């Protein structure tokens, strides 16, 4: 079973809560990109994009590498396994609740 850290979950979900950061991950899924290129694609300042990338990097979702004056971003090593396990745990709980509700609804329908 995958073990997860509450702090890691908080950082990951906070990073994923922003649409720009989700867009950056989508873009990096297509290929590595410099922070400058990402800033241009998202129509934002270099400083703003550096902040977004920093948040993604702290969450382990992005890795940056500096070569000369260019900082290149690529997807990090996080495969979201612990986050997936956390979500699955709660999905099971909700599935059981909805199944129980469905049984009650079916009982009420049969009484009519």
**Six token digits for residue 34:** 């410099």
Share of the chain above pLDDT 70, in %: 96
Please compute, for residue 83, the number of CA atoms within 13 A of its CA located in the half-sphere on the CB side: 16
| pLDDT (0 to 100) of residue 4 | 61
Domain that holds residue 91: 6-111
Torsions phi, psi for 42 (to 5 deg): -100, 10
| pLDDT (0 to 100) of residue 2 | 55
- 3-state SS, residue 65: strand
pLDDT 10s digits, 54-77: 999 999 999 999 999 999 999 998
> What CA–CA distance (Å, rounded) separates 57 from 49?
12
pTM over 0.75: yes
Note whether residue 1 is domain-resident: no
| pLDDT (0 to 100) of residue 3 | 61
Torsions phi, psi for 105 (to 5 deg): -60, -45
In the chain, the number of structural domains is 1
Note whether residue 96 is domain-resident: yes
């Amino acid at each position: 079973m995958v073990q997860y850290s509450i702090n890691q979950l908080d950082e990951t979900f906070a990073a994923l809560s922003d649409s720009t950061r989700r867009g950056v991950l989508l873009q990096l899924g297509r290929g590595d990109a410099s922070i400058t290129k990402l800033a241009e694609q998202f129509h934002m300042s270099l400083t703003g994009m550096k902040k977004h990338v920093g948040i993604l990097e702290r969450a382990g979702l992005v890795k940056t590498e500096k070569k000369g004056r260019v900082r290149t971003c690529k997807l990090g090593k996080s495969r979201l396994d612990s986050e997936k396990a956390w979500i699955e745990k709660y999905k099971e709980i909700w599935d059981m609740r909805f199944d129980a509700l469905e049984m009650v609804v079916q009982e009420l329908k049969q009484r009519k």
